[in-house]
Structure 1
Amino acid sequence: MPLGLIALAIGGFGIGLTEFVIMGLLPEVAADFGVTEAAAGWFISGYALAVVVGALGLTAATTRLPRKPVLMGLLVLFIAGNAISALAPTYELMMTGRIIAALCHGAFFGIGSVVAAGLVSPEKAAGAIAIMFTGLTVANVLGVPFGTFLGQEFGWRSTFWAISAIGVLALVGIALLVPNPRTDGTAPSLRRELTAFRSGQVWLSLTVTVLGFGGMFGAFTYIAYTLTEVSGFASSAVPWLLVLFGAGLVVGNWIGGRLADRSIDGTLLGFIAALLVVLTLFAWLAPSPAATIVLLTLMGGFGFGTVPALQSRVMRYADHAPTLASGANIAAFNLGNALGAWAGGATIAAGLGYTSPIWVGAIITAAALLVMVVARAAARRTRVADRADAPAPEHLDDARAAASVA
């Protein structure tokens, strides 16, 4: 395994920690700045919106630049944003630090996916992308509980200093371990990158990403209420149950990457269908603590197991210009998060109960499965048409014979 993938995974770990650890520190942060819980919640919402902006804007702005220096520059931005958060004397400056750190998120994973795929042979590209995203999943399993503990023991600012140090480690690792990517002699350009969006398959892939992740996060955003109010767990058990969910993320990401190297579309169809079954069973069996433990873990596994295949698919159909399309797919993940959170919250506000977000997640996931079926069928029709248009072998032989006579 190329050591550069480890450096990319460390960067992904730090970025994932920045995104998720604030959830465990909101009470301390809100009390320090003297704001309401809802106002502190904007540190999460503002971050997500900035990810979408950065995934598209920064990726587009850096298209003509070499990818390794761009990744290093993004990590400098990440370090600066977290240092500002650690030092921030006011709510406004803290929000500024969150936004600065978030701007690098989408561009880092979008460009990093292209770099990771280039470090290995084409048939191992999805597995390489999965290794980079392992940093994000490990951030959920180990980083967030540790970061929350650190912030509660030594003050929430200490967590952001620790994240800044992780950013420095990733920066050094990329500088030393990630080679400058080989080029094919074609100068990159924004116009060339934009041509990727002429592909209907790219748009279908982005749609599956939005709906697939929207389904999982529709169920997950309000999972603490489901666990305590429906399944009957004590609030003190919620962090440990979320560790199980995070373990499912790690395993699903690894298996999904391995399987996607064999068949991207087959993996997506299988995992999305399995996620639909899991969410349906979860919504039905949530009152059972034992079933909840199993299904929560499976939800993480099948939900995040789609990530390597989703990222690989959009890059495959934008192979001539994958960087901006890859960044757009990271934006699509976050749009899916927002969609799922909004839809789940709407059902709770309507008085439909704490299992209603899971039902909504299942419905959104069913839509993702339908779009994926359409996308695969369209891709097969295109392949059949291409084979039909290709010259028959005997025609090729005749052409070669005529050329030799000439």
Structure 2
Amino acid sequence: MKTSIYALALGAFGIITTEFGIVGILPTISREFDVSIDTAGWLLSAFAITVAVSSPFITSFTTKINRKLLLCMVMSIFVLSNLISAFSTNFTVLMIARILPAILHPLFWNIAIAIAFKERGAKGVSTVMLGLSLATVLGIPLTTYAVDLFQNWQASFFLSSAISLIAFIGLLLFIPTIPPNPEISGKNKMAVLKSPILWLNLVSTLATLAAMFASYTYLTAYLEEITKMDGAQISMMLLLFGGMGTLGNWLMGLALNRNVLLASRMFLVLLVAVQILAYYFGGYYIPMVILVSFWGMVHTCGFLVCNVRTSQSVPHHSLEFVNSLLTSSFNIGISLGAFLGGLVSVYYGVHYTLWVSILLLTVTFLLSFVTFPKNITENEEAKQLKPVASACEHS
């Protein structure tokens, strides 16, 4: 594997740590800036909304710029934004510091995945995606633990900035100069928008991500208020959550390779079951340790399920364009979930955020039974699914 691929994976680690590291310190931020937990949740929601809006457009605006320069610019912005966050004197400044890197967030993924695929195909893509998984396993728990260790909320942002700086150095040293790509005609890509299957999958993706993040965004608050865990224990739970997620991704990759629809439904049923159990056993320490492990195993599969389910339903030549729409759906879903969970948390208590997830997952499960005439043949679909499924197995 080329060193450049690992440098890209390190960049992915830094970016995801910055995006989702805020989840572990939302209660701390809420207390520090004297805002409600749902208002603090907008630090994740605003990031996600910005990514959703910029995703379909940001790449087309930068087609004439050297790709290495863009990658380094993105990582430098993440370094800077984390430092601004650490020195924020009020919640508004912190919010602006969060939105700044989100504008360029999808640009990193578009370029990184393209480079990885060109160099090493599906294996290269799976290696870059490994950075995302490791950020969940290590980055988010570490930034949460840093706050508890130093008794200072700024420690989380200083650590995220340091991680992004290391990633920047890696990109600067190991990514070769890559000239801009010529702009490609979008006629064939736009034609896929006529597919009702695509829109069904995008809506399902949005609902799935909203369900996942309606509860996950407030997991720290849930463990703190309902399970009565302290900061160190919560950090361990987040580490367990992420570690089991890596195992879950691997198992789901195998399941998706056999039957996409069945695996998708299985994911939805399992996540509903875990959250119902968490609602009734949330006040008990040992059961919640077990449930958090299974929750993490199932939760992390959501990105993979939505990606494969959508990719296998469209022509191969449209995948890059569809991926930008999928990124938007992911982030709109994340934002919507964080908003709904925060709303319910304020008016009814954090305990009831789980029912927001359960309701949305049930709707998504019902949508999986909606069918349309296929717009591509079974052979074409199998050819498209094979490389995606292979990437899943490698992850």
TM over 0.5: yes
| Unaligned ranges ≥5, structure 2 | 382-395
Contact 1:110 1:328 in 2 (8 A): no
Contact 1:253 1:307 in 2 (8 A): no
Equivalent residue, structure 1, for 2:385: none
Which whole-Å CA distance do the structure 2 matches of 1:31 and 1:104 have between them?
Answer: 30
Q: Give per-residue Cα distances to partners, 1:103-127, cap 9 Å, x unaligned.
A: 2223323443444444444xxx3x6
Equivalent residue, structure 2, for 1:274: 270
SS in 2 for 1:37: coil
Equivalent residue, structure 2, for 1:397: none
Equivalent residue, structure 1, for 2:387: none
Equivalent residue, structure 2, for 1:290: 286
Change (3 A) 1:301 1:62: farther
Contact 1:130 1:257 in 2 (8 A): no
Q: CA deviation at 1:366?
A: 2.0
Q: CA deviation at 1:298?
A: 1.5
Contact 1:63 1:323 in 2 (8 A): no
1:319 corresponds to 2:316: yes
Of 101-110 and 90-99, the range deviating more from structure 2: 90-99
Equivalent residue, structure 2, for 1:394: none
Which whole-Å CA distance do the structure 2 matches of 1:172 and 1:318 have between them?
Answer: 38
Which whole-Å CA distance do the structure 2 matches of 1:357 and 1:74 have between them?
Answer: 34
SS in 1 for 2:368: helix
Which whole-Å CA distance do the structure 1 matches of 2:326 and 2:69 have between them?
Answer: 22
Contact 2:27 2:220 in 1 (8 A): no
Which whole-Å CA distance do the structure 1 matches of 2:223 and 2:94 have between them?
Answer: 31
Q: Which one of 149, 153, 177 corresponds to residue 150 of structure 2?
A: 153
Q: Which one of 164, 168, 171 corresponds to residue 167 of structure 1?
A: 164
Letter in 2 for 1:145: P
Q: Which one of 356, 369, 385 corresponds to residue 360 of structure 1?
A: 356
Contact 1:12 1:133 in 2 (8 A): yes
Q: Which one of 221, 227, 233 corresponds to residue 223 of structure 2?
A: 227
SS in 1 for 2:316: coil
Equivalent residue, structure 1, for 2:104: 104
Which whole-Å CA distance do the structure 1 matches of 2:227 and 2:91 have between them?
Answer: 36
Change (3 A) 1:200 1:173: farther
Q: Which one of 324, 330, 333 corresponds to residue 333 of structure 1?
A: 330
Q: CA deviation at 1:14?
A: 0.7
Equivalent residue, structure 2, for 1:215: 211
Of 133-142 and 12-21, the range deviating more from structure 2: 133-142
Contact 1:114 1:323 in 2 (8 A): no
Q: Give per-residue Cα distances to partners, 1:232-278, cap 9 Å, x unaligned.
A: 55565333222222222222233334544555444433323322332
SS in 2 for 1:320: helix
Change (3 A) 1:172 1:119: same
| Unaligned ranges ≥5, structure 1 | 388-406
Change (3 A) 1:187 1:55: closer
Change (3 A) 1:195 1:73: farther
Change (3 A) 1:147 1:290: closer
Which whole-Å CA distance do the structure 2 matches of 1:259 and 1:189 have between them?
Answer: 36
Of 142-151 and 208-217, the range deviating more from structure 2: 142-151
RMSD: 3.9
Which whole-Å CA distance do the structure 2 matches of 1:115 and 1:14 have between them?
Answer: 18
Superposition pairs for residues 31-180 of structure 1, below 5 Å? 35-38=33-36, 42-62=42-62, 70-86=70-86, 92-121=92-121, 125=122, 129-150=125-146, 153=150, 157=154, 159-174=156-171
Contact 1:207 1:371 in 2 (8 A): no
Q: Which has the larger radius of gyration?
A: 1
Which whole-Å CA distance do the structure 1 matches of 2:172 and 2:21 have between them?
Answer: 26
Q: CA deviation at 1:345?
A: 3.7
1:383 corresponds to 2:377: yes
Of 322-331 and 10-19, the range deviating more from structure 2: 322-331
Contact 2:27 2:221 in 1 (8 A): no
Identity of aligned residues (%): 27
Which whole-Å CA distance do the structure 2 matches of 1:254 and 1:130 have between them?
Answer: 11
Aligned residue pair count: 377
Change (3 A) 1:363 1:45: closer
Which whole-Å CA distance do the structure 2 matches of 1:165 and 1:132 have between them?
Answer: 20
Equivalent residue, structure 2, for 1:303: 299
Change (3 A) 1:178 1:302: farther
Letter in 1 for 2:333: G
Contact 2:140 2:238 in 1 (8 A): no
SS in 2 for 1:36: coil
